[in-house]
Chains A and B, each alone.
Chain A
Amino acid sequence: MTSFLTVQERAVAINPTRSCAPIGAMLANYGIHGAITINHGSQGCATYPRHQMARHFREPVEVATSSLTEKTTVYGGKQNLLAALKHIWERFHPTMIMICSTCLSETIGDDIPAIIDEFLNTYPDVTIPILSVKTPSYIGNHTTGFDNFLKEIALNLPDRRKKKGETNGKLNIIPGWVNPGDIRELKRILREMGLRGLWITDYEETLDGGYYNPRPHFPRGGTTVEELRNSSKSLATIALQRHIGGEAAHIYEQRYNVPAHVLTMPIGLKNTDAFVDTLIAITDHAIPETLEVERARLLDALVDTHMYTSGLRVAFYGDLDLLEGLVGLIAEMGMTPAYILTAADNRAWGERMVELTEELGVESEIILKGDLHELHKRIKQRPVDLLMGHSKGKFIAEAENIPLVRVGFPVEDRFGYHRRSIVGYNGAIALVDEVTNAIFERRATTVVSNTLIETGVEGPTDIPITLRNGAAHHP
């Protein structure tokens, strides 16, 4: 079993898996009750992400832009940003304003913190926090924007005055780039354990809201600014994605003495165990009966489905933390993570994935700086049975007639994925079911009771069966 790392070399990106930084900051800011985002740039950089988020969450998504134009590229965007701040403050009275930059405003070199200071000097009655986040997209990707904003929150919002031993009895949880459904599930796990979480941040309801008459001025839900101020008094911080929130967790530890626990995204049995064990270790609460039962049910689902899933070759793509969590479940299902592709250029992560997959006893090619066209070419050379990732993979799925199990962001061609959860024992069970059903459908089979009757050929691929002793058998 040897996994290996490749780095895609092409200059041109063809069908990228990633988007750009501001959308990550915008998403995270949606998790703060009554907070508004100003995107400092030209209009497209705000309107495009709004549209993208609306297609995924099926909710109104509102983001302001400083509307930079040709003139401002010469003289700088200061006047526009000052005007935007004024209008947002006067019209909305938000609880907080987050300003994220763009490739344009960064290239112009606007000093956003200085502009904020100037605004606050002119409007002394404005007492809400105004944070600025650097989100030029030529550095990193959409996750970078999310992560940078979390760092800004950790640096700027928590109250530094804290008496020795003072605590709010809560746990800071940084879920990272997940879906509202995932946050809902994580909250439930904490509730089951009798714990209280302080979510950094919480877009469970703001981006999966209800219909109310009358409509609330700000979407219901979200962590309040007060709670974030109070987050320095929490018992510990748990970051559930290393690359989104991991560093923020360490800031909490260094600045406010709140111990940091940075975990793998809790997808699958072992990753969820690690999360639950961490909760137990921090708080001394025992694992409740409900979670024990769910855990056992996941094991049951794994064994019930293994005849359909074992040995299947899976290609999946997307963000580092999602991939790292997902590979755990894929291995537990006995599938082979044939290709693991990310757009990120993170060698350390790649090497860790090589080790991880080898430890898990699976053989993978891990592709860095990759795009979906590259993945498609690999799949044409050596097919897979299943794709996992966001909606943009549908073009490969259609061309090769391979099922695509949708996870990650964006899922814009199906309904309600933002409400689903793939974390925790329950999330894993749902994913196991979905993968298995996807396989049923692809095989064009009839399912009689629990017996799978193959009515056609195996599908377009001929899959070598990898024997447990490492040898390969070609049918």
Chain B
Amino acid sequence: MNILSIAIKEMKHDFRDRRTLLFMLGFPIVLMLILGLALTNAFSSEISVGDVKVAVKDATGGGPLSEAFAGFAKEVGKTGVTFEPLKPGANGREEVENNHVSGYVELTNQGISLYGSSRDAIESNIVQGMLASFTDKYNAAAAVARIEPAKTEMVLATGGSDYIRELSVDANRTPGSVDYYALAMTVMVGMWAAMGAGALIQGEVLRGTAVRLVIAPIRKSEIFVGKMLGGIISNLLCVMVIILFSKYVFKAYWGHHMGVVIAVLVSEVVMAMSLGLAGSYLLKGTASRGVISLVVQLMSFFGGAYFPILDDEGGGLMGFLVNLSPIRWANHGLTQVIYADNVSAAWPVLMLNIGFAALFLGVSILAMRRREGL
């Protein structure tokens, strides 16, 4: 009950702060519009996903993986994503870099590897998503094979129709820049929760009201949970407004797994809140707000909020920074969920977010326990 009334109070602060609210909602929407229009050319809007061509090199020398993959390629081929054997003497990675193909798959006895085109980020994601579901099924089949060899065919056979269903949804879908920014902005706003959380406790201290909360006959944990809950709900409402606005006003595409998308965003907001809170405990004083806001800005930048970050696994400082950004994880995972119907791509993101949230919360709770007052 105390938790609830503290959460409601927290939401009153959030929604009565017109200026911050306007910024939270207005900025991403305007940016979505401007970037979405200005950068249309950065997206392969002319090419439908149906034209995706992927080179394949089978180095297994036959065997179950080779066979299964052939079946998969055949099924998938009906929808326009074509897997062609790599021309003898050609280098698969160069083919991709020279934009002759959108991706390059290598089958070896160790498994499957994919080199995606760095230009067609979304096509690459789709191919990656399809391959991920293929490997899932292949692994399942292999596991079945070990126990009951006769049933292997069945697992793979049902698999085939799944790829087709998945692709028939997406094959003619052309992800445009508005779609990209709708997702990117939403993920960015989710991360902004960290900035609010940085001020969660400090705000009470500055207003002097921390005193009243601490002297009331309630537990510190109730204050803590109530404030977190209020902040999470407020931020999620902002995220929802941006999703709905982009969906119905800008007609952005959000795919068929809204529940999964929202679950990922919830986990992101919780993680962001925890990050901000831990930051405000560890970096005492008003400086912490500046630091947290800088970190969030950097995450947005490197995570692809303002321009698409390509699937450049090549490494380097940029690659390293890019992969540190939770915005990047979420963008990446959600692109697969939305465009490749690859729901399982949400799992790693959920796990990372929940894991980091638990870590940051743990740090905050330890810091809170040690303190006198809030």
Q: Does chain A bind chain B? A: no
